[in-house]
Structure 1
C-alpha cells in the first residue's frame, strides 16, 4: 500500500488509514457509481470526503502502474496545483493506492476536506429565475478566467463539478471538484470557449458569460460570443444525437 499525506495531516496517518479500511462499512454515502464511490466521514473533528476508485482492468492497471499517474494521485497533485495558483478546491488530505501481484494497481482512494456548499451551476441552468443568476454567472466566468490564466484546461468543466458557496452580499465562492482530468497548457481563445461547452448554457447565459469574459480578457464581445455560441450548440447537438441513437437502438432491441 502506498500512502501520501498532506504534511498538515501527517500526525493523523493512523486515523486516515482507519477511514480507508472502514470505507465500506462506515461513513455517509454521497455518490455511488459503477467506477467511483464517494463517502463523507470525520477525521479528528473535521468532515472529509473519501473517493474510492475501483480496481481497473488488467490493461489500465498496467498503464496506471507504470506509465501514467493514477486517478487518486492526479486528484491530489492537481488539487495542490490549483491551490498554489489561488484557485479554490477542497484541500487535499491524502491519497492511497493498493498494489496487487507484480506491483499492479488495485483499489485507490483520494481524501479531501468536505465543502458545505449551497448549490452548483446545474441549479442555475434549470431555473431562469434563480436569485442573482446573472451575478453568479459573471463571478463564475471570472473564476473560470482565472483558471484559464493559470493554464488550467479542466476537461470535466461541467455543471456539477463546481461547488458554489453563497457568502452573502452578492458574493460567491467557487470550488472545483472531480479533478483527475486536466491539462496544463497555454489556452487559445478557441480552447477557452470550448472549455465552457459542457456547462449546457442557455442563449441568455451565453450572452452573460461572453460579455464578462470579453471584459476580463480585453477582447471584443463580437469575437468571443460567436465562438462560445458555436461551441455550445455543437456540443448540445452531439449529445442529443447520441441520446436519439440510443433510444432508436433501444426500440429496435
Structure 2
C-alpha cells in the first residue's frame, strides 16, 4: 500500500501531524458520524481538526476514481478553496490523503478545520416564520450571494448548513461540499436549491419571496418554483423518513 498526502498552502508544514492522525484514525479521535463514511474530530496543537474517511469504493468505482474521475475526498479538499476565495465561509481545508493498492484507490481522507458554528437547519421543521425572520433573511441573502458568484451546492440540506450569530450578525458556513457546481445559476435553478430544507409551506414561501428580492426576480415565479421543487423532493419521501416534524403540503 502507498499513501499520497496533499496539504493546503497554510498547512504545508503539517504533513507529519496529518500522517500521524491517519495512522491512528481507527483507534483514536472522537466520532462525529459513523456509517459508510466515518467522521472524527481530533484535538491538535493547531486546534480541532475534522477528518472524514471515505469508504473503499467498489471494484468498478476503484477504477473510475483512480483513472477517470476525481475522488470525493479530493473534490472536498479542492472545492473549499474556490468557496473561500469567493468570500464565503466553509471550513478551511487542511489535507487530502489517498491510499492505494496496486495503483487502485482504497481509503481516502479529507482533513479540515472544525467549523465553530453549532446550529444547523434541522431546527426549523416546525418553526414559525415570524420567530426566525432575521435568520431566514440573512440565510437567503447568503444563498443568493453564492448563486450570483456561480457557486451551487448540490446537497444543500439542513445538515450541511451551519450557522450562528457573531458580533450581532448571522454567519453561515457550508460543509460536505464535494458535490458542487461552478458556473451561472439561473433563478429557477437557484429556487430548486432550497428543496431539501426542513420546514412548513410558509417557511418555503417566505424564503422564495426573499430570494426574489435578493436576485431582483419575479416573486410569484420564485414562490411557484420553490414550492414545486420542495413538493417534488419531499412527497415521494414522506413515508420513507421518520422526520421529527409534520410534513405538510
TM-score (norm: length of structure 1): 0.90
For residue 189 of structure 1, the aligned residue among 182, 187, 190 is 187
Following TM superposition, by how much is the alpha carbon of 1:241 offset from its aligned partner in structure 2, in angstroms? 5.8
After superposition, the C-alpha distances for 1:43-96 in whole angstroms (9 at most, x for unaligned) are: 323111000011111101100000000111000111111111111100000000
Report the equivalent of 2:136: 137
Contact 1:201 1:232 in 2 (8 A): no
Runs of 5+ unmatched residues, structure 1 = 245-253
Whether the aligned pair in 2 keeps the contact of 1:206 and 1:228 (CA below 8 Å) is: yes
Deviations 1:165-195 (A, max 9, x none): 22153x2111110111112221222211111
How far apart, in 1, do the equivalents of 2:232 and 2:153 lie? 19
- Structure 1 residues 1-253: aligned runs within 5 Å: 1-33=3-35, 35-101=36-102, 103-128=103-128, 132-169=131-168, 171-240=169-238
Partner-residue secondary structure (3-state), 2:95: strand
Unmatched segments (≥5 aa) in structure 2: 243-249
2: distance between equivalents of 1:26 and 1:243? Answer: 32
Shift of 1:242: 5.1
Tell me, yes or no, if the aligned pair for 1:62 and 1:104 is still in contact at 8 Å: yes
Q: Which residue of 2 aligns with 1:248?
A: none
Q: C-alpha distance in 2, partners of 1:165/1:56?
A: 35
Task: Output the CA distance in 2 between the equivalents of 1:206 and 1:127.
Answer: 11
Partner Cα distance (1:219, 1:113) in 2: 36
Superposed CA RMSD in Å reads 1.7
> Secondary structure at the residue paired with 2:41?
strand
Contact 2:126–2:199 at 8 Å: present in 1 too? no
Query: Is residue 126–residue 200 contact of structure 2 (8 Å, CA) maintained in 1?
Result: no
Relative distance call for 1:91 and 1:231 in structure 2 (3 A) is: same
**CA distance in structure 1 between the partners assigned to 2:212 and 2:119 by the alignment:** 26
Q: Secondary structure of 1:197's match?
A: coil
Q: Deviations over 1:15-50 (max 9, x none)?
A: 1110111111111110001x2000000232311100
Q: Distance in 1 between matches of 2:235 and 2:108?
A: 36
Checking the alignment, whether the CA contact within 8 Å between 1:193 and 1:227 is kept in structure 2 is: yes
- Describe the SS at the equivalent of 2:158: coil
CA displacement 1:101-146 (0-9 Å, x = unmatched): 1x100000000001122311111224438x9511111111111111
Normalised by the size of structure 2, how large is the TM-score?
A: 0.91
